[in-house]
Structure 1
Amino acid sequence: MTKFLLAVHVLAAIVAVGPVSVAASMFPPAARRALTSPDDTRAAETVQLLYRICRVYAVVGVVVPVFGFATASNMGVLGSAWLIVSIALTALAALVLIALVLPGQSALVEGGGTREATVRLAMFTGLFNLLWAAVTILMIVRPGSTTGA
């Protein structure tokens, strides 16, 4: 059962978090293009598509911690320091996405943004991606693990 839960957890992370990371990273430059060319409908459509991808996959991403907790419980590692740090970083990444990235994208999609807003959004997106990179590293290295990784 542990292998199944772990497989679903990892697949969910790849399928859900991956697209959010990529689309969110692509969003600020696309928004800058749309801001500098207001008559370019394709640029505006690209920004809307990237925003939709981020919103939809953010919701799908809820599966990742659900299966993560199930896997950790099954493995008996819920009290491990590396897991607690990973949970905290995951919660912080979710907070950055929900409170900073998605609202910033929304403001730009609705036409209330500036070039400075795209720069700020790029910073928040970078922070989101760095948090997920740290979680990924902790999941692979697992300090104190007896697997030799």
Structure 2
Amino acid sequence: MSGKKLNAEDKAEIIANYIGINFLAAAKELRELQDLKPDVFLKVAEMAGLGKRVAYALARIARQFDDLGVPEERLHAIGWTKLQIVGRYLTEDNADYLLELAETSTVYELESRLRGEIPIEDARVVTLYLSPDQHERFKVKLIAHGAVPSGNGLLRKEKALMAIIDGK
């Protein structure tokens, strides 16, 4: 933030203008806002069109990478989605390795490798549109066949789905 005091609407507009153009600038603005005015942080994020999760993720990215001295061009090239993933495992000692991994991997490959798995080569994506009831039944079946609940999702769901298909 420049030394000038801005109201929430002005700050939200600035952050909204950065999104898509310069996510690091938006991340820094959000971090500073979170540090200095935590009571308006989420209000400004919402006014900027950001959900809570994205706002917190961007602020965390700024907090984690500001002190490492990584060139902004490198961080921009990696992108905020991969930086968010890498941030879960980031230490000062492994930063270079993780950033290199992020630069040379897709999001899927990066997540797999960081979980200690070998990514499936030439993997295909399947998208399903299920009602809440169908989704719950799907989830229960996957868990019964080896998927593991993790946060709001499941790990090892592909293996579980193939076990269902193969009748195991």
Work out which of the two has the higher radius of gyration on C-alpha atoms and give 1 or 2: 2
The TM-score with structure 1 as length reference comes to 0.26
Larger fraction in helix: 1
Higher relative contact order (CA 8 A, sep 6+): 1
